[in-house]
Chains A and B, each alone.
Chain A
Amino acid sequence: MEKKINIPVKGAGRKWAARLKELAEQPLPDSILKKIKEESEKKKSASDKKTTGDLDL
Chain B
Amino acid sequence: MRILNNLQEVHRYIQQQGSLKGCLADTGFLYALSYCDDRFFDKANDVLDLLSEKQIAIFTNVVSRMEFVDLIFRKQITGGAIHIYEELLPKEKNKHFYNFVKSIRDQESRGRKINNSFKVGEYHIKKLREEILQYYGDKSWQDFCRQFVGNMLVNEWLILEKEFGLNYMEALEGSNHEQLNLPLYWLDVVQLMGEQGFRAPDAMIVNFFSKSKFDLLITSDQDFKKFFSTTEKELNSKAVYILK
Query: What band does the interface of chain B fall in when counting residues whose beta carbon is under 8 Å from A?
Result: 35 or more
The docked-state distance in angstroms from the alpha carbon of A9 to that of B182 is 31
Contact residues of A: prevailing secondary structure: helix
The answer to whether A6 and B167 touch across the interface, beta carbons within 8 angstroms, is yes
Is B33 interfacial (CB 8 A cutoff)? yes
Is A56 interfacial (CB 8 A cutoff)? no
> Do A20 and B52 form a contact, CB below 8 Å, given A5-B167, A31-B139, A32-B136?
no
The docked-state distance in angstroms from the alpha carbon of A30 to that of B84 is 12
Q: Return the CB mask of B144-156 against A: 1 if under 8 Å, else 0.
A: 1011110110001
Contact surface of B with A, Cβ cutoff 8 Å: 22, 33-36, 41, 44-45, 48-49, 51-53, 55-58, 72, 75-76, 78-80, 83-84, 87-89, 91-93, 132, 135-137, 139-140, 143-144, 146-149, 151-152, 156, 160-167
* Given pairs A13-B33, A16-B163, 15 additional interface contacts (CB within 8 A): A5-B22, A6-B57, A6-B164, A7-B57, A9-B164, A10-B49, A13-B41, A14-B45, A27-B147, A28-B147, A29-B143, A32-B136, A32-B143, A36-B88, A43-B93
Contact surface of A with B, Cβ cutoff 8 Å: 5-17, 19-21, 23-33, 35-36, 39-40, 43
